[in-house]
Amino acid sequence: MLGYKSGIAEVMTKITILRDEFEHVHDTNPIEHIGSRLKSPESLIAKVRRKGCPLTLDAIREQIWDIAGVRVTCSFVSDIYRIRDLLISQQDLTVLAERDYIAEPKANGYQSLHLIVQVPVFLSDRVEAVTVEIQIRTIAMDFWASLEHKIYYKYDGAVPERLLVELREAALAAARLDATMEQLHDEVRALAAGSTQGRGAASPSAPSDELLSAFTHLLDARRVEPPLV
């Protein structure tokens, strides 16, 4: 467990460095939040038994890939792929598998991108390659996934069919929200770029009245309403 905890620390450091760079060097920061979790020994043993995995350390390392997990929350779907590309380009990070649940959503409507990676952990007498699962998803889908987890925990996995249908509808609504907000973001950014080109030199000052007015009219035209809570 110490090895997996160290693997989480390595991946968290990589992502934190990227977040800090975006925060201080670039105009936008695609990383909204970073979190991590390490399976408890009890949870791990329960999964090992469900999968029929032999109760040996080597077998567990080879067959159970989500003992150590890191979650990255982004504003937009395009940010997810941007972070994925930046991570897999790092030379000391080896990608074992990629599961794109955005291109092919799960049956319950869940959309996210999962990377199974190995990172080197430098110990006093050796270097261990530790497997870590990285989940990258939007704010909306992260909220949905958190709610779904709580519901499954409350019903001990036996969730009523009615709730399963409503959960899937909620996931589809979250995906539609992501698509709408990304389109709005792209259009506003295009308006800002056009406004900057029209004025000549770029200015770091607050958005112009013309841009704010255009954004307001754009929202009114699309009749975007805040999600219900």
Task: Look up the CATH number of domain 2-159.
Answer: 3.30.460.10
- The pLDDT-based confidence of 211 (bands split at 50, 70, 90) is very low
Secondary structure (3-state) at 1: coil
Domain layout of the chain by residue ranges = 2-159, 163-222
Structure tokens at 56: 């040996």
The Cα–Cα gap between 167 and 110 comes to 9
Give me the catalytic one of 23, 98, 104, 133: 133
Structure tokens at 165: 């249908």
- The pLDDT-based confidence of 198 (bands split at 50, 70, 90) is low
The reply to whether 133 belongs to the active site is yes
The Cα–Cα gap between 141 and 229 comes to 14
Q: Residue 125 pLDDT more than 60?
A: yes
Question: Which residues partner with 121 through β-bridges?
Answer: 128
- The pLDDT-based confidence of 209 (bands split at 50, 70, 90) is low
Q: Angle, nearest 10°, between helix axes 77-88 and 2-24?
A: 120
For the stretch 159-179, pLDDT in tens is 899 999 999 999 999 999 999
Q: Are 111 and 102 in contact (CB under 8 A)?
A: yes
Q: Residue 13 pLDDT more than 60?
A: yes
H/E segment holding residue 48: helix 41-51
Q: Residue 215 pLDDT more than 80?
A: no
